[in-house]
Structure 1
Amino acid sequence: MHHLFHFINSVNVELPQYITLFGKKIYLILFIIIFAKTAYIVLTFLPGDATLFASGTIAASGQLHFQLLLLLFFVATVAGDAQNYLIGKIFSLFNKSDRFSIYKLIPKKSMDKTHIFLNNYGKWAIMFSRFIPLLSTTLPFIGGLTSYSFKRFISYNAIGAAIWAIIWVGAGDLIGNMSWVEHHMFLSLLGITLFSLLPPVIAFIIEYTKKIATASKVTDS
Structure 2
Amino acid sequence: MAPDPSAVNQLAVNLLDANSLLAAFGALGIAAILFAETGLLVGFFLPGDSLLFTAGLLCTTSKNGVHLNLAAVLACAVVGALAGAQVGYVIGQKGGKTLLAKSKNKHLQQGAARAEEILAKYGYAKAIVLARFIPVVRTVLNPMAGALNVPVKVFTLWQVVGGLIWSIGVTLAGYALGSSIPSIDKYLLPIIALIVVISVIPIALELLRSRKHSASAE
Same-fold status (TM-score > 0.5): yes
Contact 2:57–2:175 (CA under 8 A) maintained in structure 1? yes
| Superposition TM-score, scaled by structure 1 size | 0.72
Consecutive unaligned residues of structure 2, counting only runs of 5 or more, are: 1-8
SS of 2:46's equivalent in the other structure is coil
Cα pair distance change 1:145/1:206, threshold 3 Å: closer
CA distance in 2, matches of 1:5, 1:128: 35
The one-character-per-residue Cα deviations of 1:79-104 (angstroms, maximum 9, x if unpaired) are: 00111111111115x95xxxxx7535
Which residue of structure 2 lines up, in the alignment, with residue 98 of structure 1?
Answer: none
The one-character-per-residue Cα deviations of 1:4-32 (angstroms, maximum 9, x if unpaired) are: 674252662246754xxx7xxx3322211
Which residue of structure 2 lines up, in the alignment, with residue 86 of structure 1?
Answer: 90
Contact 1:13–1:186 (CA under 8 A) maintained in structure 2? no
Structure of greater Rg: 1
Which residue of structure 2 lines up, in the alignment, with residue 133 of structure 1?
Answer: 135
Which residue of structure 1 lines up, in the alignment, with residue 18 of structure 2?
Answer: 12
Identical columns (%) = 25
Consecutive unaligned residues of structure 1, counting only runs of 5 or more, are: 96-100, 216-221
Cα pair distance change 1:193/1:5, threshold 3 Å: farther
Q: Which amino acid aligns with 1:138?
A: V
How far is 1:148 from its partner?
1.4
CA distance in 2, matches of 1:31, 1:109: 26
RMSD: 3.7
CA distance in 2, matches of 1:193, 1:60: 19
CA distance in 2, matches of 1:206, 1:4: 38
Which residue of structure 1 lines up, in the alignment, with residue 4 of structure 2?
Answer: none
Contact 1:37–1:43 (CA under 8 A) maintained in structure 2? yes
Cα pair distance change 1:171/1:120, threshold 3 Å: same
Contact 1:16–1:58 (CA under 8 A) maintained in structure 2? no
Which residue of structure 1 lines up, in the alignment, with residue 185 of structure 2?
Answer: 182
How far is 1:209 from its partner?
8.6
How far is 1:175 from its partner?
1.6
CA distance in 2, matches of 1:182, 1:9: 22
Cα pair distance change 1:114/1:27, threshold 3 Å: closer
Which residue of structure 1 lines up, in the alignment, with residue 164 of structure 2?
Answer: 162
Q: Which amino acid aligns with 1:79?
A: A
Cα pair distance change 1:46/1:201, threshold 3 Å: closer
1:68 aligns with 2:46: no
